[in-house]
Chains A and B, each alone.
Chain A
Amino acid sequence: MKTSYALNKVLTEVARRHAMKDRLSEEDIAGYTVSAEERAALTAGDIAKLYELGANPYLIRRVFRSRFRV
């Protein structure tokens, strides 16, 4: 199964600050080793792409709650 430790590490840290975002900033991602594709998805708040790249959906939901219609 596809899982990205880099994405989940970033999203866990943001989620634990109880910070809900539309998209992550470069500052949010600074210091994490994410690929260019992962960086693009995080900074775009592209929830479908993040899922495809192996981000945990519970973390996607917590961080990008405003991106979900329900």
Chain B
Amino acid sequence: MAEIVAAALTSHAPMITGRPDVSKPERRERLYAGFRELQRRLAAARPDLLVLFVNDHLQNFPYSNMPAFCVGLCETYDAPSAGAAGFMKIPARTIAGAPRVGMAVLEAGLEAGFDLAYSYEIESWDELAVPLSFLAPDRVPPVLPIYTNCAAPPLPTPRRCHAMGAFVGDFLRARPGAERVALIATGGISHWVGTPETGRINSDWDHWVLDHIGRADPEPLLRLTHADIERDGGNGGQEIRNWLALLGAVPGWKGDALAYEPVTEWITGCATVWVHP
């Protein structure tokens, strides 16, 4: 049977790679060290497949057609595209998708009560390219991205995201063969983007989130309402839905924060978290 051999949570703010110069060097280096340690552990786990819990930033899904959850069925992903490479300061590269696994997720989802949307054309932005530039700088196993609506409310509830992730975890573990799967969730933690509070970071809330993840106690996070998160974590904090989906896939696992830095210049509370049994 397939096995989940690694799991990690990271922020994905584009300025992490795009504007290193504006951040305080000591903060940047501590965060980058966290990413490097995640990369080392991920490589040691030798995954054959990366399942990524991520979100769109309205570059793909318009207000005329907004899925709560969407499975990527692309043969390849530009992560980043040539156009976005300059902004994120990451070399453009094309990485392999895993559309056959994606199709199997969709079919199993319908049986399990998760009517997931799908897309054969996804323009990926920082949600894939920034974390993968650190976590898989050279060779990238095939990737299966699962997009959750974290940006265009109304959003699926944290509890629903966690349940969706639980389904994905069960699906992966039931796959035949000796496939080694790594899970990566990106986004968060607190940040306010485009609102009147743009630039605010709430470190207290970020630590509260990390503490619960560290204790394998997601329940208080699953009870959060959209309004709770908007107030304490900002509209960018809504991206913790991706993290909660991943945690649903590995019940009982806890997350060790390898780095947490509230980087004002990147307008984001940035973290790297290793999740393990």
Q: Residues on A close to B: CB < 8 A?
A: 1, 3, 5, 8-9, 12, 15, 47-48, 51, 56-62, 68-70
Query: Which of B57, B63, B198, B265 sits near A68, CB closer than 8 Å?
Result: B198
Q: Is B276 an interface residue (CB 8 A)?
A: no
User: B266's closest neighbor in chain A, by CB?
Assistant: A70
Query: Which of A58, A68, A69 sits near B58, CB closer than 8 Å?
Result: A58
| Chain B residues in 8 Å Cβ range of A12 | 58, 62-63
> Is B199 touching A70 in the complex (CB atoms < 8 A)?
yes
Query: Which of A3, A5, A48, A57 sits near B193, CB closer than 8 Å?
Result: A57
> Is B195 touching A5 in the complex (CB atoms < 8 A)?
no
Query: Which of B63, B152, B193, B194 sits near A9, CB closer than 8 Å?
Result: B63
User: A16's closest neighbor in chain B, by CB?
Assistant: B59
Interface residues on B, range: 20 to 34
Complex Cα distance A66/B196, Å?
Answer: 14
| Chain B residues in 8 Å Cβ range of A60 | 194
Shortest beta-carbon distance from B20 to chain A in Å: 16
Shortest beta-carbon distance from B223 to chain A in Å: 19
| Most chain A CB atoms below 10 A, which of B151, B194, B198, B235 | B194
Shortest beta-carbon distance from B165 to chain A in Å: 23
> Is B58 touching A61 in the complex (CB atoms < 8 A)?
no
Main SS class of interface, B:
loop
Q: Residues on B close to A: CB < 8 A?
A: 57-58, 62-64, 151-154, 192-196, 198-199, 226, 235, 264-265, 267
Complex Cα distance A3/B149, Å?
Answer: 15
| Chain A residues in 8 Å Cβ range of B235 | 57-58
Complex Cα distance A61/B152, Å?
Answer: 14
| Chain B residues in 8 Å Cβ range of A58 | 57-58, 151, 193-194, 235
| Chain A residues in 8 Å Cβ range of B152 | 3, 8, 56
> Is B198 touching A70 in the complex (CB atoms < 8 A)?
yes
| Chain A residues in 8 Å Cβ range of B226 | 1
Shortest beta-carbon distance from A31 to chain B in Å: 15
Complex Cα distance A56/B195, Å?
Answer: 9
Q: A1-B153, A1-B154, A9-B63 are in contact. Are A57 and B194 (CB under 8 A)?
A: yes
User: B152's closest neighbor in chain A, by CB?
Assistant: A56
Shortest beta-carbon distance from A42 to chain B in Å: 15
Query: Which of B62, B195, B199 sits near A57, CB closer than 8 Å?
Result: B195
> Is B153 touching A61 in the complex (CB atoms < 8 A)?
no
Complex Cα distance A47/B153, Å?
Answer: 19
| Chain B residues in 8 Å Cβ range of A47 | 194, 196
Pairs across A and B, CB under 8 Å, 26 listed = A1-B154, A1-B226, A3-B152, A5-B63, A12-B58, A12-B62, A12-B63, A15-B58, A51-B196, A57-B193, A57-B194, A57-B198, A57-B235, A58-B57, A58-B58, A58-B151, A58-B235, A60-B194, A61-B193, A61-B198, A62-B58, A68-B198, A68-B199, A70-B199, A70-B264, A70-B265
